[in-house]
C-alpha cells in the first residue's frame, strides 16, 4: 500500500531549523523559527508558568479524561481574556468554547465545523498569511481564496484592494483575519480599518474568523483584542481560534481554544453539539496539562499579575529589537529605508529583500530566514543585532 506514496518536500521553516542547527559558524543567527527567545537566545519557561505548574501538580488528584470541550475553567478564562469577562455574548449564552490541542487544533476543528454547516462557503485568507492556514483549511475540505493584504514594496497594508476584493465575496463566506501581530508581515489594521471591515462584513453577511495567536505581544492584552471585540460586538456570528503557545510560552504543551459566537442562545446549543461531535471524531479529548497551567495562572490574581508583567517584558524586548535593528541598519549608511520595522507589531516582519539576498545572508553570513524575507524579531538580541544589521546592509548595497 505505502509504495504508492511519494516523498513530499520538507517544511521550509523546519528545514531551515535543521540547516541552522548543523551550521558550524559561531556567528550563526536563526531568524526563521517563530518562537520567542530572550537576550541569551533561549526560550525560557515563564516564572508564572513554573509556579503555576508546581501548584497544579501538588494539588492534582487524577488523570481522568476532561471531556471533548476540555476544562470549563480554562474555557471561562480564555473567553474572558479575549472578549472580556462581561461580554454580552457570554451573558447571553451565545458563545461556545472548547479547549484544543494548540491553535492548529482550533483552526482544524473550526474548519470542519464550517464545512459541515456551509460546505459551499469560501474561506478568504490574506495574502500573505501564515503558511499553515491554507493547508489546514484545504485538508478539512474547504475552498480557499485570497484577498490582498500587504504590499511588500510599499511596506504598507493594501487596504483599498482588500476591501475591493472582499466585495466579491458571496453571502455566507468566511473571512479569516489576524487578530493582532499579523504573521508573517507584522502589519496590523488600525481601529478605523477594523470598523470599516466590520461594516463590510455586516452589510454583506460574511462571517469573521479571527485567528489570534499573539495577544499581548503587540500593544497589550486589551489593545491587541480591539478588533476581535469590535467584531464580536457588532456581528451576530463569529469564529475565533486562539493559542497559548506564545503569550504563555507553552509551545510544546499544545494549548489553544476554539470559540463560536452564534446569533442566539438556541442556535448556540446546536452549534455546541456539532462542535463536540467534530472534536470527538478528531482527537476525542484535548490534553489537560497546558490548560491546567493557564487556568491556574488566570484564576490566581498574584500569578496573573506576575504573568502580565513577564508578558509585558517580552513585548518591550521585541519592540526594542525592532527599533534597534532599524537604527543599526541606518547607522551603516544603508540607503534602503527600513524605518517600517518599528511600526509593525509582534514577532515577525518582512525585510523586503529578494530571495537571492536571503540566500546570500544565509550562505555568506549564516543568517537564516525564509525566502520571503520574513524574520522573527525575537531571534535578535544585543549580541547579534550589530552583526545582522551590517550583513543586511552589505547584501542590500551589493
Ordered by start, the domain boundaries in the chain are 10-44+316-397, 65-299
Preceding peptide of 128 cis, ω within 30°: yes
155 given a catalytic annotation: no
Collect the ranges in the chain with pLDDT lower than 50.
none
Of 267, 272, 200, give the one whose Cα is nearest residue 231.
Answer: 200
Q: Quick check: do 10-44+316-397 and 65-299 share a fold? A: no
DSSP letter at 218? Answer: S
Concerning whether 130 is annotated as a catalytic residue, the answer is yes
**Calpha distance 79→59 (Å, rounded):** 25
| Digit-coded pLDDT (tens) for 276-332 | 999 999 999 999 999 999 999 999 999 999 999 999 999 999 999 999 999 999 999
Predicted pLDDT of residue 347: 95
CATH architecture for segment(s) 65-299: 3-Layer(aba) Sandwich (3.40)
Alpha helices (H) in the chain, listed in sequence order: 12-22, 47-59, 72-83, 88-91, 102-117, 133-139, 159-166, 191-204, 221-224, 226-234, 265-282, 289-298, 301-331, 355-365, 385-397
pLDDT of amino acid 398: 65
Question: What was the pLDDT predicted at 33?
Answer: 84
Residue 311 near residue 221, CB atoms below 8 Å:
yes
| Helix, strand or coil, per DSSP, at residue 38 | coil
Closest CA to 176 of 236, 136, 215: 136
- Strands 29-30, 374-376: pairing kind: unpaired
Residue 385: per-residue pLDDT: 97
- Nearest one of 295, 386, 268, 228 to 76, comparing CA atoms: 295
Question: Of the listed 211, 224, 307, 345, which one is catalytic?
Answer: 211
Give the Cα separation of 142 and 32 in Å (integer). 29
Please tell me which residue in 30, 124, 130, 307 is annotated as part of the active site.
Answer: 130
28 catalytic, yes or no?
A: no
Active-site residue among 37, 155, 246, 345? Answer: 246
Distance CA 72, CA 35 (A): 28
The pLDDT tens digits of the residues spanning 141-185 come to: 999 999 999 998 899 999 999 999 999 999 999 999 999 999 999
Any idea what the Cα angle at residue 180 is, between residues 176 and 182, rounded to 5°? 70
Query: What architecture is the 10-44+316-397 domain classified under in CATH?
Result: Alpha-Beta Complex (3.90)
Beta bridge partners of 208: 175
Q: Which three cell numbers stand for residue 216?
A: 499581548
Amino acid at each position: 500500500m505505502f509504495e504508492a506514496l511519494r516523498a513530499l518536500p520538507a517544511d521550509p521553516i523546519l528545514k531551515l531549523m535543521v540547516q541552522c542547527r548543523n551550521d558550524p559558524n559561531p556567528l550563526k543567527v536563526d531568524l526563521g523559527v517563530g518562537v520567542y527567545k530572550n537576550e541569551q537566545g533561549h526560550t525560557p519557561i515563564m516564572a508564572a508558568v513554573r509556579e503555576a505548574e508546581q501548584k497544579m501538580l501538588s494539588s492534582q488528584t487524577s488523570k481522568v479524561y476532561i471531556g471533548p470541550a476540555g476544562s470549563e475553567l480554562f474555557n471561562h478564562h480564555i473567553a474572558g481574556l479575549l472578549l472580556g469577562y462581561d461580554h454580552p455574548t457570554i451573558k447571553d449564552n451565545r458563545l461556545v468554547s472548547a479547549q484544543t490541542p494548540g491553535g492548529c487544533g482550533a483552526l482544524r476543528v473550526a474548519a470542519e465545523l464550517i464545512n459541515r454547516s456551509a460546505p459551499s462557503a469560501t474561506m478568504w485568507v490574506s495574502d500573505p498569511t501564515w503558511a499553515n492556514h491554507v493547508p489546514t483549511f484545504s485538508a478539512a475540505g474547504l475552498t480557499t481564496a485570497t484577498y490582498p493584504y500587504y504590499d511588500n514594496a510599499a511596506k504598507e497594508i493594501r487596504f483599498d484592494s482588500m476591501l475591493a476584493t472582499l466585495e466579491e465575496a458571496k453571502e455566507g463566506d468566511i473571512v479569516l483575519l489576524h487578530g493582532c501581530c499579523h504573521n508573517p508581515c507584522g502589519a496590523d489594521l488600525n481601529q478605523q480599518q477594523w470598523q470599516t471591515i466590520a461594516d463590510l462584513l455586516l452589510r454583506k453577511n460574511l462571517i469573521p474568523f479571527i485567528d489570534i495567536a499573539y495577544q499581548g505581544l503587540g500593544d497589550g492584552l486589551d489593545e491587541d483584542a480591539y478588533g476581535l471585540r469590535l467584531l464580536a460586538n457588532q456581528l451576530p456570528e463569529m469564529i475565533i481560534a486562539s493559542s497559548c503557545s506564545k503569550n504563555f510560552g507553552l509551545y510544546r504543551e499544545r494549548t489553544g481554544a476554539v470559540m463560536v459566537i452564534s446569533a442566539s442562545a438556541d442556535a448556540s446549543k446546536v452549534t455546541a453539539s456539532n462542535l463536540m461531535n467534530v472534536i470527538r471524531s478528531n482527537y476525542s479529548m484535548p490534553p489537560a496539562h497546558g490548560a491546567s497551567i493557564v487556568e491556574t495562572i488566570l484564576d490566581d490574581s498574584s500569578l496573573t499579575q506576575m504573568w502580565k508583567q513577564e508578558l509585558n517584558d517580552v513585548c518591550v524586548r521585541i519592540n526594542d529589537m525592532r527599533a534597534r535593528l532599524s537604527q543599526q541598519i541606518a547607522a551603516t549608511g544603508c540607503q534602503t529605508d527600513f524605518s517600517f520595522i518599528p511600526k509593525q507589531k509582534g514577532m515577525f516582519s518582512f525585510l523586503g529583500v529578494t530571495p537571492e539576498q536571503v540566500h546570500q545572508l544565509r550562505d555568506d553570513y549564516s543568517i537564516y530566514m525564509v525566502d520571503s524575507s520574513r524574520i522573527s524579531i525575537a531571534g535578535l538580541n544585543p549580541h547579534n543585532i550589530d552583526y545582522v544589521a551590517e550583513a543586511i546592509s552589505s547584501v542590500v548595497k551589493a
